[in-house]
Amino acid sequence: MAVAPEKPAIYRGTRIPSPIPTILRVDPALREDDDILQVNFGPNHPSTHGVLRLIVDLDGENVVGLEAVVGYLHTGFEKTMEHKTWWKAITYPERIDYVSFQNNELVFVLALEKLLGLEIPPKASWMRMLLCELNRVHSHLVWLATAALELGAISMFWYCFRERERILDLSELVGGYRMHTRYFQAGGLAEDIPRGFFPECRKFVERMPGAVDEYESIIDRNAIWLERTKGIGLLSASDAIALGQSGPVLRGSGVDWDLRQNEPYLVYDEVDFRVPVYYNGDVYDRYRVHMDEMRESTKIVAQALDRLEDMAGEPWIVDDRRVVLPPRHELHTSMESLIHHFKIVTEGYRVPEGEVYVAVESPRGELGCYVVSDGGPKPWRVKFRAPSLVALEATATCMSDALVADLIAIVGSLDTVMGEVDR
Amino acid sequence: MTYEGVPGLVETRDAYGETTLIVDPPRLREACFHLRDEEGFNFLADLSAADYLGWPQSTDEVAGYKGSAAGRNINAPGSWGLARLPDPRPTRFCVIYHLLAIPAAVRIRVQAWIDDGEPVQSVVPVWPTADWHEREAFDLMGIVFEGHPNLRRIIMEDDWEGYPLRKDYPIGGEPVRFSGEE
């Protein structure tokens, strides 16, 4: 737990810029020099993972100043959700972080269930965990594909997207859509697990460890990859905690902290998995955490499959008609059920007054959802704690002594999704 | 666990298994330093702000429910967000801090209640990660953080007027511009 004391510090003291923690200011002595060149990197640049703008001050090839500008993808999710019923609002979180959609859906549904006081059936918990872990692999694959692509490893992109397609096919099999499935409902799952899912998922679980080996054989002994990632973008454990980092960035800096293990939700306390921790706090270690997590997530999926295969016929959603739609077949025979269905869909259900904060370990770190309910059918306030936004705050700290080429590697390693940053 | 030693503590609430500490805004930073250094809350997980304008007066009256065709009627007389707020300071805005202790895995929520235009102390000196969170709360909710080193808009444009997440900011109030128009 926490920081291993015997490990040598990554660097002495703190590197967080002062007084503004997120802006690296050019040294005034250097400012006198005419050679400082200010460059706008982005907002439209293939290496910015969306629309991120970095104002970079360069002294030759050295980055001497940096400021990140965000907000280009702001779509007002939180405001919009205040105007939708709880029932309809479930569709929005998935679109906030479109790469880890399943985890985003989960956190909002968990917050809703906490307010409603719902106990969900075990089958739903296991299936949610399975899908969230598949989604973690999906997210890490997209990260690895794009981060490696930016450093010149084009072939990685095709290999990673090959497995990504398999995950999206599984997602389509379950929810009907490749992404943004809205498969999680308050109370459980929208539908039973379809026939044919288990064998297909089993094939994927058998395939995936070999695929991770393949990725490693491409880049893990590649001199260019190692040269460009080792010792780059350093972040110490204490700086990472002070800057609120979470997920692979925090674990790459030597802090053993994973909400799946430290604050278990769903049924993570019933599965066996390891939390990878690396101690050098550089781009390479963040890459190592991602690779190990793909292997561990595959193990969790395999264990969930074993359990779910024995749960055939069990309920997948609670039988609480206050919030759960009546079963489809009743709509054809019962007038009351039809009216009830209509009421829930059009008017929504009331959620007890109160405020809750729920956090889950998304592929990018602590994804939190703070929800205030006034007792009505619409949320009063919804706030997402976006791990991507927090990760971007660390750019200035990681960028000390960096070259302009390292900037690409560092921003890539922080694994940000701009949709989530700007919301 | 009790938090009686927290400076400026007004009230402690427990609901849904979560602990909320309501602190006096002028002593907020002091309270945060205490929580970080004495209680081990070294990680600021989230900072958000909520607008309680139009919060329902009684349980029969739910602001989100009694809407007009255009949406919630937030300007109806008598719905000025004064019901069921903490006793000493019934005010409009609430700034909410979600703290986490690593590795003890304890979470608490700290709240400071303020009125429109009233500043709240910045916690950037306590947790540097508060920088962008506070800028976001300033940008979208119009909360002024005293002592923030760089309090500028972060999400919206620099010359944006109004604070979009406030309850009296209309949805759909922004005119649509077409590319062919002059």
3-state SS of chain A is CEECCCCCCCCCCCCCCCCCCCEECCCHHHHCCCCEEEEEECCCCCCCCCCCEEEEEEECCEEEEEEEECCCCCCCHHHHHHCCCHHHHCHHHHHHCCCCHHHHHHHHHHHHHHHHCCCCCHHHHHHHHHHHHHHHHHHHHHHHHHHHHHCCCHHHHHHHHHHHHHHHHHHHHHHCCCCCCCCEECCEECCCCCCCHHHHHHHHHHHHHHHHHHHHHHHCCCHHHHHHHCCCCCCCHHHHHHCCCCCHHHHHCCEECCHHHHCCCCCHHHCCCCCCCCCCCCHHHHHHHHHHHHHHHHHHHHHHHHHHHCCCCCCCECCCCCCCCCCHHHHCCCHHHHHHHHHHHHHCCCCCCEEEEEEEEECCEEEEEEEEECCCCCEEEEEEECHHHHHHHCHHHHCCCCEHHHHHHHHHHCCCCHHHHHC
The residues pairing with B15 across neighbouring beta strands, listed in sequence order, are B18
- Chosen for mutation from A374, A378, A421 (greatest number of chain B CBs closer than 10 Å) is A374
Q: Do A244 and B45 touch (CB under 8 A)?
A: yes
Q: Do A374 and B16 touch (CB under 8 A)?
A: no
- pLDDT tens digit at each of 423 positions of chain A: 455 555 566 777 788 888 888 888 887 777 776 788 888 887 877 766 778 888 998 888 888 888 989 888 888 888 888 888 888 899 999 889 888 999 999 999 999 999 998 889 999 999 999 999 999 999 999 999 988 888 888 888 899 999 999 999 999 998 888 888 888 988 889 888 888 899 999 999 999 999 999 999 988 888 888 888 888 888 888 889 999 999 999 999 888 999 998 889 989 999 999 999 998 888 999 999 999 999 999 999 999 999 998 888 888 888 888 888 888 888 889 999 999 888 888 888 888 888 899 999 999 999 999 999 877 788 888 999 999 999 999 998 888 888 888 888 898 888 888 888 888
Q: Is residue A393 within 8 Å of residue A67, measured between CB atoms?
A: no
- pLDDT recorded at residue B1: 62
Residue B31 is given by DSSP the state: H
Nearest Cβ partner for A376 among B20, B63, B103: B63
- Chosen for mutation from B94, B102, B134 (greatest number of chain A CBs closer than 10 Å) is B102
Question: Who contacts B122 (Cβ-Cβ below 8 Å, separation ≥6)?
Answer: B29, B130, B134, B145, B146, B147, B148, B151
Grade residue B95 by pLDDT with cuts at 50, 70 and 90: very high
- pLDDT recorded at residue B59: 44
- Chosen for mutation from A3, A14, A22 (greatest number of chain B CBs closer than 10 Å) is A22
Q: What is the mean pLDDT of residues B106-120?
A: 88
Give the full edge-to-edge strand order of the sheet including A62-69.
A23-24, A62-69, A53-59, A36-41
Q: How far apart are CA A370 and CA A382, in angstroms?
A: 6
Nearest Cβ partner for B129 among A20, A78, A243: A243
- Nearest Cα of chain A lies from the Cα of B14 at a distance, in angstroms, of 11
CA A257-A263-A268 angle, to 5 degrees, is: 100
What CATH number has the domain spanning A77-422?
Answer: 1.10.645.10
Q: What is the mean pLDDT of residues B100-126?
A: 89
Grade residue B110 by pLDDT with cuts at 50, 70 and 90: very high
Q: Helix (H, G, I), strand (E, B), or coil: what is residue B71?
A: strand
Q: How far apart are CA A279 and CA A252, in angstroms?
A: 6
Of B116 and A197, more confident: A197
Single pTM value for the model: 0.88
B41–chain A Cβ distance below 8 A for any pair? no
Q: Do A21 and B64 touch (CB under 8 A)?
A: no
Q: Do A263 and B155 touch (CB under 8 A)?
A: no
B113–chain A Cβ distance below 8 A for any pair? no
Residues on chain A touching B165 (C-beta within 8 angstroms): 78-79
Domain ranges of chain A: 77-422
Q: How far apart are CA A225 and CA B29, in angstroms?
A: 44
- pLDDT recorded at residue A8: 60
pLDDT at B61 over 60: no
Go through the domains of chain B in sequence order and give each one's CATH number. Answer: 9-117 (3.30.460.80)
pLDDT at B79 over 60: no
- pLDDT recorded at residue B170: 76
**ipTM computed for the complex:** 0.86
- Nearest Cα of chain A lies from the Cα of B182 at a distance, in angstroms, of 23
Question: Who contacts A125 (Cβ-Cβ below 8 Å, separation ≥6)?
Answer: A266, A267
A25–chain B Cβ distance below 8 A for any pair? no
Q: Do A241 and B42 touch (CB under 8 A)?
A: yes
- pLDDT recorded at residue B83: 41
- pLDDT recorded at residue A42: 77
- pLDDT recorded at residue B173: 64
- pLDDT recorded at residue A357: 93
